[in-house]
Amino acid sequence: MQKLRLILLVSGLSLVLPVSGYAQSISDIDNLSPEDRRAYMESMSPDERAAMREKWAGERAAMTDEERAAKGAERRARWESMPEEERAAKKAERRAKWESMSEEERAAVRARRQEIHAERREKWQSMSDEERAAAREKMGRRSHDGRGDHQRHKGETGDTPE
């Protein structure tokens, strides 16, 4: 029954999306139900999804710290208001997706994570002491809405914000 609903939803969206275009903003997508959001993204070609992600990255970059914090708070509130069974199901779904990946796909994901880490480290090391202090202060303000549970990775020397 769920597959039938998904098929109907995707086919319905495929009729509506060309008319509406792909000018959806982050907030428009956030307002969709998870099923609608998934169907919307699956209805797009890989190139269209990549273009959409770039557009969203631009929108996120244009947000103020307060707007970013508000978005994060909304996501956390949605996650925390979710029944424990649903959260467990989502975690299991992510685990199943990871386990279904080939070793090459997993290696690609790990490599991308390492690239991002190296980029961040390079950026951090290129900063002056004043810029680092400002970044630490900014991170302290943004970190988990002030809950204070942001921890450094074990073994860090304290010279990075991670």
Alpha carbon separation from 74 to 9, 24, 25, 80 (Å, rounded): 26, 19, 16, 10
Q: How confident is the model at residue 145 (pLDDT cuts 50, 70, 90)?
A: low
Residue 19: band (very low, low, confident or very high) from pLDDT cuts 50, 70, 90: very low
According to DSSP H, which parts of the chain are helical?
A: 2-20, 26-30, 34-42, 46-62, 65-81, 84-100, 103-125, 129-142
Over the stretch 97-140, which tens digit does the pLDDT of each residue have?
Answer: 999 999 999 999 999 999 999 999 999 999 999 999 988 988 88
pLDDT above 80: residue 27: no
pTM of the model: 0.47
Query: Is 31 a residue whose pLDDT tops 80?
Result: no
Instruction: Indicate if the pLDDT at residue 21 is higher than 50.
Output: no
Provide the 3-class DSSP secondary structure of residue 43. Answer: coil
21's CB contacts (< 8 A; 6+ apart) are: none
Question: CA 8 to CA 12: how far, in whole Å?
Answer: 6
Q: Which of 88, 113, 111, 109 is nearest to 100 (CA)?
A: 109
Lookup result for tokens 């995707």: 10
